[in-house]
Chains A and B, each alone.
Chain A
Amino acid sequence: MANNYKLRDLKKRIDSAKSLNTPPSKKKKESGAGFGFKISTEIIAALVVGVGIGLIVDKYLGTKPFGLIIFFIFGAIAGFLNVYRVMRRIEKQ
């Protein structure tokens, strides 16, 4: 048990020493609000397009309300896909 603590302590010390050696990343950390904003616009934009396509399909094919329902769901999934891509891009940086 005591050994375990010692190991953990050592790891902590190594990590802190490492962080001292590596220069702090120049990338400014984004504020939480800015990040949330980025994510929400991605979802909203995809939903807007999905609903728009749904309404157009309904209008011209007369499939009210199924086009709206189906494309709303597609839009929601596309929104999550957008968010996933944004996240992956941030991870890469």
Chain B
Amino acid sequence: MAAKDSPLKQFEVIPYSKTEVANYDISFTNSSLSMVITVAVITLFLTLTVNPRSLVPTRMQLISELMYNFIAQLLSDTVGDNAKKYFPFVFSLFMFVLIGNMVGMIPYQFTFTSHIVVTFALASVVFIGVTILGFVNHGIKFFTFFYIPGVPFYMHPLLIPIEVISYLSRPISLSVRLFANMLAGHTLIKVFASFVVAMPFFTGALPLVFIVALTGLEILIAFLQAYVFAILTCLYINDAYHLH
């Protein structure tokens, strides 16, 4: 699909082995490898740094504790009393997206969050989980989520479809935001990188400086998008508890 030296070539999925189960292609690709690396990094980092359990934390232990506190605070601020139950889920989600984005910042490393398949799968897990949670908490009354009180009765045939569409658009906006941010950032860096080579004499240094700045911005976006993913998950969990 992508040409030989296209800025989009970095997003190509390359299967390392051909495996098919019941006509489904489940080959181990560079995308899968990237995810395995991400999970390995998270697991090793969190277990090794917290392992000493020292009362006066080392720098690395402090980083782990900061991440824990960050999500714990976020959850208790948005969800409130029932927050503790969802901490493992939100924390895993946050770390997976965050470290996935960060791993993608390493040159030659594949960024799996720049594929809508991956982000949409993550968003679908959140969406389906939250919907089930809503039904578990409220039973059939969960449908009143789409019913806005205090509106003239003849407006409901119009408002209920709008509310339903608004609800169904959640996983799409959640996944598109993460995917498009990562895709755009990485493409931009590659485009500017091609300018470095193409520009004559020493003027190539100019886009090079720009790339350095962009890389910094990309790291900020990598963090910000993971944060947005986590906070929206928290808000949706909160919605499943408190209708309106």
A and B are partners in one complex rather than unrelated chains: yes
- The chain A residues found within 8 Å of chain B, CB to CB, are 34, 37-38, 41-42, 44-46, 48-50, 53, 71, 74-75, 77-79, 81-82, 89
CA distance A77 to B181 in the complex (A): 25
Q: Assess whether B176 is interfacial by the CB under 8 Å rule.
A: yes
11 A-B pairs with C-beta separation under 8 A: A41-B176, A45-B169, A45-B172, A45-B173, A46-B166, A49-B168, A50-B165, A53-B168, A71-B165, A78-B162, A78-B163
- The number of A-B residue pairs with CB atoms under 8 Å apart is 53
Shortest CB-to-CB span from B168 to chain A, Å, is 5
Shortest CB-to-CB span from A34 to chain B, Å, is 8
- Given A37-B180, A42-B173, A44-B172, 14 other A-B contacts at CB below 8 A? A41-B177, A41-B180, A44-B173, A45-B169, A45-B172, A46-B165, A48-B169, A48-B172, A50-B165, A53-B168, A71-B165, A78-B169, A81-B166, A82-B169
CA distance A23 to B164 in the complex (A): 42
CA distance A8 to B170 in the complex (A): 47
Of all chain A residues, the one with the shortest Cβ separation from B179 is A41
CB atoms of B173 and A78 under 8 A apart: no
Contacts of B181 in A (CB 8 A): 37
Q: What are the 3 tightest A-B residue pairs by CB atom distance, in nearest-first order?
A: A45-B173, A45-B172, A45-B169
